[in-house]
Homo-oligomer: A and B are copies of this chain.
Amino acid sequence: MRRITLDDVARLAGVSPITVSRVLRKPAAVSEGLRLRVDAAVRELGYVPNLAASRLASSRTHSIGVIVPTLYNVIFAEYLFALHEALVDAGFQVIVVNSRYSETEEENAIKALLGQRVEAIIIAGIHHTLHARQLLVQASLPVVETFELSPDPININIGMSQELAGRTATTHLLERGFQKIAFLTGNLDHRAQSRMDGYHAAMEGAGLSGRTIIAQRASASSVALGSALFAEMNERGDSPEAIFCTDDNLALGAMQECRKRGFRVPGDISIIGFHDLEFAACASPSLSSIATRRYETGKLAAKKVLAAIEASAKPADEQIDLGFGLVVRESTSG
Residues of chain A having any CB pair with chain B under 8 Å: 1, 46, 48-53, 55-56, 61, 71-74, 77-78, 80-81, 84, 88, 93-96, 98, 111-112, 114-117, 134-135, 138, 140, 222-224, 227, 249, 252-253, 256-257, 259-260, 278-279, 281-284
Task: Take A116-B51, A223-B278, A224-B282 as given contacts and tell me if A71 and B61 are in contact as well, using a CB distance cutoff of 8 Å.
Answer: no
| Chain B residues positioned under 8 Å from A135 (CB to CB) | 46, 48
| Chain B residues positioned under 8 Å from A112 (CB to CB) | 51, 93
- Copies of this protein chain in the complex: 2
A52 touches which of B46, B55, B78 (Cβ 8 Å): B55
A281 touches B81 (CB 8 A): no
A95 touches B93 (CB 8 A): yes
| Chain B residues positioned under 8 Å from A55 (CB to CB) | 52
B50 touches A56 (CB 8 A): yes
Told that A1-B140, A72-B78, A224-B278 touch, could you supply 5 new A-B pairs with CB distance under 8 A? A93-B95, A96-B96, A224-B279, A227-B282, A256-B284
A46 touches which of B74, B78, B138 (Cβ 8 Å): B138
A115 touches B49 (CB 8 A): yes
| Chain B residues positioned under 8 Å from A138 (CB to CB) | 46
Task: Take A140-B1, A224-B282 as given contacts and tell me if A71 and B56 are in contact as well, using a CB distance cutoff of 8 Å.
Answer: no
| Chain B residues positioned under 8 Å from A51 (CB to CB) | 52, 112, 115-117
Distance of A67 Cα from B266 Cα, bound (Å): 44
- Min CB gap A99→B, angstroms: 11
A50 touches B80 (CB 8 A): no
